Structures are given as structure tokens and as C-alpha cells.
A and B are shown apart, each in its own frame.
Chain A
Amino acid sequence: MSMETCPECAAAVSPQDRFCEQCGRNLRVQRTTVGGPEAAARCACGGESFDADGFCGSCGRARPSARDRVEFVLPGLAGVSDRGKRRQRNEDSMAFGRVRGRGVAAVVCDGVASSERAEQASQVAVDTAVDVLLTAVQSGTDPEAATRDAVLAADAAVARLARPGAEEVAPSCTFVSAVVADDTATVGWVGDSRAYLVAEAGAARLTTDDTWAAQLVAEGVLTEEEALTDRRAHVLSRWLGADSGLDGPQAVTFRVETPGLLVLCSDGLWNYLPEPEDLLAVLPRGVPPIEVARELVEVALKSGGHDNITVVVVTLRGGHGA
């Protein structure tokens, strides 16, 4: 076996080590950067100098927010989050991690644009939730119970961002998570961020949107077609935040029988590819998760990129864990 290096301090470590001798880092857990990506050093034009107000000294464009385009890659799973072409900010966030030999956890949250500091809400939510989920993966806790704990912890963390007396605009976001351990996968969600399962045999949508329109369709008040054009199509019936009144997520657990991919995404992607077959049609084959995520984001951008787009792709090995 080849030697590896500690991701924290670059000291040499062996694959059997649970902790780095040098800095004490837990080597069994790898995860995305807490708080999101670090600030970009370069402008899109290649310029590296910015004035005091953050404008590029060459092309004049505002210093790109580190959030404008985020990519994270871990063995077996990867994600891309993009501002899109129309929004001034990227209010989506993603976080994921893996516990060596145990499994992976991933979370995508979409900040509600009409709320304050929505990008802060989604970042706090993904970081809080993925912490809870990775701890559960490490200790082998029941994934549905862990998902519920993760959602409630994230909801409470987002609620703490609210200004007193400003409930109407309290920071809020949607939520979708996945825990894959052993041969089972658990998906939990609040709001209209979605999860899809894509395998050789076909594709399936794993989530149902928490929106007024979806609820009315379920109750038979609207047809699917009417719901698409209804102004309530995107109005959330459940979300995370100070005014959520949330009691827990919706969740499903299933056995992973065959190899495939789990795709978590914000509506910036699925608006253009609503049906599982749409997703399957554009999905590249035989490439690593990061290439899949990039391609799906590219499809959304080419279709207009009207909203922030976030896609996390998890490899499912089928029966062997992650």
C-alpha cells in the first residue's frame, strides 16, 4: 500500500492510521470546507489585483465571490455549485464527507431568495447537518433518526441567524440530504430540493416537493399540468428557518442493490430536467462523479441558468457500501 499524506498538515500517514501523528487530525473522516470555499484569489479575466472595493484592476469586474462557482471532490462523491447566469449571488450551499470504510453523507440547501442572508442560511444548514450525519455514520446510528436530528439541528442553527422582529424575512433555506452506509441509502428533505436515483435499469425521483402546488396536486385539486403554470408552483410549504415551525423532514430509506448514482440538486437544475427520464437522457456515462456534476450544471447553464444550480453526485456501488 502506498503512503498517503495528512490533508491538514501534509505529514506522511499510513492508510491504517486513524489519526495524524503530526497534527491529530481524524484521518477517517474527510469532508468539504466548513463555511464554504475560501475566497477567490483571481478574477475570471486572470487578474490578481483588486482595489479596496474589490473591483478587478484589469477588467473592472467585482471580485468573484468564492461562492460563484464551487467544486468539491472526495473519493466516490463530488459536487458543483454555480451562481447561474441571472442571479447576483449564489445562495445555494453544499457539504459532504466520507468516513473511511463506513459510508458517506451529503447535504444540499437552497437559500430562499426572498429571505435575508439566504446564502448564510444555506451554508450554516449544510455544515450543521453534515456534521450530525457524519458523526452518525461513524457511530453507526440509525440513518433516518440521524437525518431527523440533522434537519432539526440545521433548522435551529438557521433560526439563530434571524433578527428579532423580522420573522417575515428570516434567513431560510430548503434541504435535501443523503446518507449511504453499508447497503442502504437514506434520503431526507424539506422544501423543493430533490434527490434522484440513476442506475443502468432506469431513473427515479426519490423526493416529493414541499410546495403548495405539489400539495394541491396530491389532494387532487390541481392536475400536474395546472400545477406547472400555477403561481404557487414554487411557493414552499416547508422550509428551514426561524419561522419554519418544522417538526422533521420527509425521509425514505432503500437498499442499494445495483451500482448507480445518487443525485442531490437544487431547483436550478431540476427546473430544466424535471422528470427522471430527462436526467437520464443527458447523464454522461463512465465518468467520475465530478464530471457528472459538471455536465449537469452545464446543461442548466445552457438552458438559461436562471437560478443558482447545485448538484452533488454520490457513487452507489451496490452491496459494497461506499
Chain B
Amino acid sequence: MGLDFGVEVFQNEYLPEGEARVDAILTVSATGTAAPVPVEGAAEVLIIDTSGSMRYPPTKLAAAKQATEVAIDTLRDGVVFAVVQGTDEAEVVYPRGSGLVAASPQTRAAAKQAVARLRADGGTAMGRWLLLADRVLATHTGSGPRHAILLTDGQNQHETPQQLGRTLDKVAGRFTVDCRGVGTDWEVSELRRISEAMLGTVDIVADPAWLAEDFRAMTAAAMGKAVADVSLRLWTPEGAEVVFLKQAAPGLLDLTGRRTESGVRTGDYPTGAWAGGESRDYHLCVRVKPAKVGDRMLAARASLVSPGGDVLGQGRVLAVWTDDTALSTRISPEVAHHTGQAELASAIQEGLEARKAGDAETATARLGRAVKLAHESGRTDTAKLLAKVVEVQDPATGTVRLRARVADADEMTLDTRSTVTRRVGKG
């Protein structure tokens, strides 16, 4: 432990008479020179899809194995880990048994041998994989971050969405999961559901050759975390209601439904693990009881709280009612920026959905809107991905035409990256 958390609040606190909605961006930064958690504190589970589909093309399983081997090599000495293979069942392939083992030259070599022996056969039931990962991680006594990487190439065909939902409810908050889809036969919405529930990321690795570098980066990031299980605690006044709390950067993540009551008018939202130097933005929207013109109100108090209940940092969201329209109509650039980014993400997702459903009119309208927003906010990365799905005639007005032929990988890349956001004024 030993990170300092700072909470900066960006908002226009002046509201017109009668206004009840208060919007603010909370920028949470972990600072200080705290060393990463002692290695014995961290735990890592690598979950590899070995369903039958991984056999074709043969490079797929080979790349997955190679990526897993790179991830194993990235584990620092002393970090406990396990490798799980998933089909319609789940099995720990290393270490034998159902526990974790500390990384060392010997255990890393043995784990890589076990990975090399993996064969692809069977179905896909990701909930079972997560349940096994949870059981394995439960044997870990350290206080550091618990992290898993889930690699799949297919769809969750051997359990129902309801079964998956129940599993996610059970294991959410117990460890974080970064999901990676290889190839183009998996469902973006399915992996997004898992990564959001498990406070992780989702991405497409269209070319299996890129897997190794991606696994190395994810494992390194997980190992860099210095504080695990930090909660964002929100106090709101009597008669107020949290409309939403969403992580707004570096990626979109809706935390609204993840609230657990922790006191009078106080609820905790999980934020997962933090590394020194890390900074995230959260968009908070609170509905309060409007007060008189001239009144000042604390609309919310946001605290970062350790698992032990220590307050690590705090910020205040204010509301002041005024009849001076010059004050109340001011726009907070931070709130506007993140509102725009969220709108860009939903325009992309809705556009792609409509396109899949054959509703060309809606798809054109929503993707056109996305092109316009990406253009206005300087999101050249997103604009490039959009241009592979639509033919852009005028980015300024969002005039586009749907492309007749779109590569699945391009469409899925656009979909998964739609939730990646930028900070204000950071390009």
C-alpha cells in the first residue's frame, strides 16, 4: 500500500432555478512512488479456450499457446499463477490439482510444457471457466490484485446467457478479467458483458500473431498494480439519487448497477486495482432536490476507499442555484467532452447493431452521427475504423453511405474499440 489518491472535480456548479440534475467529471489519480505490491501479493490465472474450433486454422491454437507462454514469462518471480483450459468444461492444466503456484524458472518451464500439450476439442461454456478461476483464486491468501486473462475464439454455446449472468453476479468483484477475442467468430457483446462485469477490458486480436505482445502487456499491467479492490464511495444528500456513475476514461464502464450500500445515503462502487501514476475519469450524474436561488449544496462527496475502509482521497460535487444565466449556462468542457465520447460510443454500437439487423436507414444515420462526432472531437483513430465500415462523403456533416462489403474483423474492431475513450485535451 502507499498510493495517494487525489480526486479532482470538474463541473459547472451553477444551476438555473429549479434544475435538479448535477453533472460532474471526477478525475481520480493515484500518485506517489509506492512500489508495486510485493510479488507474493498478486495472483494471475490464464484461461485458454481449447474448444474444437480452435483447431482451424491451425495457426490459431499455436498462436494462443505462444501467447500464453509469453504471459507466463512475463510473470515476476513469486507471483502465484495457474493455467486453465476451457471447453464446455474447465480444467486446471497447471499446476496439477486446483491451487496456485509461485512463478519461478522451474514452475514457468513446467507450465509452458503443460500449455504445449494442449489439444483443441469440445464446446464453450465461459461461465464455467470463470467459476473455476474463482475457485483457484480463492485459495490465494495475498492481498494484491487477482487478475485473469480470458482468451476465446468462439461463442458461449454450451450455457445460456442466464447461466452466464448468474455466474457473473457471483464472481464479480472477486477478480478482474481482461477478455481477448481471437479471429472473428466470437460475439463482441458477449465478451463486453464479461469484461464490464469483471472491470476489465475487451479487445479483438484479429491476427493470432499479435497475441503474444498483447498478453505480455496485459500481464505487465496487472503486475504493476499497487493497490487492489479500491472502491469509489459516494455520499449524496437526503432526497438525492445517483442517476449514473460511469467510468469515462480510459474506457467506458457503467458502474451504476454495481452499487453496494455502505452507510446512510452512502454507496460503494468497485474500481478494481490501481497502479502508481494511473488516472481515470468518472462521469457522475446526481439528481438532487433543487434549493432556493442563492443556496449552496453539497450534491455528492466522492471518496476513494481501501478494502479496510480507509479514505484514500476525496472530492466534492457542488450545486449553487443562481438566476444569473451567464453563470448557469456555462458549459464544463470536461463534462461536455465525456458526454460527447459516450455519445460517440453509443452511436457506433447502435449503428452496427442496426446494420446487422438489416436496418440500413438507422445504421446510416447512427454511423453518420458517429463520423461527425469523431471528426469534431479529433478522434482520428475512431474515424479510420469508421471509414472501413462506411464511405465518408462529408465528415463535418456526418454524410456517409454504408459499405456493401465490410470485413468482419473491421466491424468487430470498430465495435470493441468504441468504448475506448480519450481524456480532455490529451489528443
Contacts and interface: CB of A to CB of B under 8 A. Distances in A.
A55 B297 contact: yes
Contact of B323 (A55, A59, A86): A86
A62 B294 contact: no
Contacts of B293: 85-86
B294 A83 contact: yes
Interface string A53-70: 101101111100000000
B97 interface: no
B294 A88 contact: yes
A61 B239 CA distance: 12
Interface of B: 236-240, 288-289, 291-299, 301, 316, 320, 323
Interface string A28-72: 000000000000000001000001010110111110000000000
A60 B292 contact: no
B294 A60 contact: no
A163 interface: no
A59 B239 contact: yes
Contacts of A86: 293-294, 323
Contact of A61 (B295, B301, B316): B295
B236 A85 contact: no
Nearest to A87: B294
B328 to A, nearest CB: 13
Contact of A62 (B239, B288, B289, B295): B295
22 contacts: A51-B301, A53-B298, A53-B316, A55-B298, A55-B316, A56-B237, A56-B298, A59-B237, A59-B239, A60-B236, A60-B237, A60-B238, A60-B240, A60-B298, A60-B299, A61-B291, A62-B298, A85-B293, A85-B294, A86-B294, A88-B294, A88-B320
A146 B292 CA distance: 41
B283 to A, nearest CB: 20
A51 B294 contact: no
Contacts of A84: 294
B13 to A, nearest CB: 12
B296 A45 contact: no
A215 B167 CA distance: 82
Interface of A: 45, 51, 53, 55-56, 58-62, 83-88
Nearest to A62: B296
Contacts of A88: 294, 296, 320
A193 B379 CA distance: 60
A60 B288 contact: yes
A45 B238 CA distance: 10
- Where chain B touches its partner, the secondary structure class is loop
A80 to B, nearest CB: 18
Contacts of A51: 298, 301
Contacts of A61: 237, 291, 295-298
A103 B143 CA distance: 77
Nearest to B291: A61
A85 B292 contact: yes
Query: Taking each of A58, A59, A62, A84, which has the highest tally of chain B beta carbons within 10 Å of its own beta carbon?
Result: A59
A208 B157 CA distance: 89
A60 B323 contact: no
A115 to B, nearest CB: 18
Contacts of A55: 297-298, 316
B426 to A, nearest CB: 30
A85 B291 CA distance: 10
Contacts of B320: 88
Contacts of A45: 238
A55 B240 CA distance: 15
B319 to A, nearest CB: 8
Contacts of B299: 60
A135 B279 CA distance: 65
A55 B319 CA distance: 12
Contacts of A59: 237-239, 289, 297
Give 5 closest A-B pairs by Cβ, nearest first: A60-B237, A55-B298, A62-B296, A60-B298, A88-B294
A62 B316 CA distance: 13
B237 A58 contact: yes
Query: Taking each of B237, B301, B323, which has the highest tally of chain A beta carbons within 10 Å of its own beta carbon?
Result: B237
A61 B240 CA distance: 12
A149 to B, nearest CB: 36
Nearest to A47: B238
A58 B235 CA distance: 10
Given A55-B316, A58-B238, A60-B297, 17 more contacts: A55-B298, A56-B237, A58-B237, A59-B237, A59-B239, A60-B236, A61-B237, A62-B295, A62-B296, A62-B298, A83-B294, A84-B294, A85-B292, A85-B293, A86-B293, A87-B294, A88-B294
B393 to A, nearest CB: 50
Contacts of A85: 292-294
Contacts of B289: 59
Contacts of B237: 56, 58-61
A58 B237 CA distance: 6
A87 B367 CA distance: 47
A45 B291 CA distance: 12
Contacts of B239: 59
A114 to B, nearest CB: 15
Nearest to B293: A86
A169 B91 CA distance: 77
Contacts of B236: 60
A84 B294 CA distance: 9
A321 B296 CA distance: 45
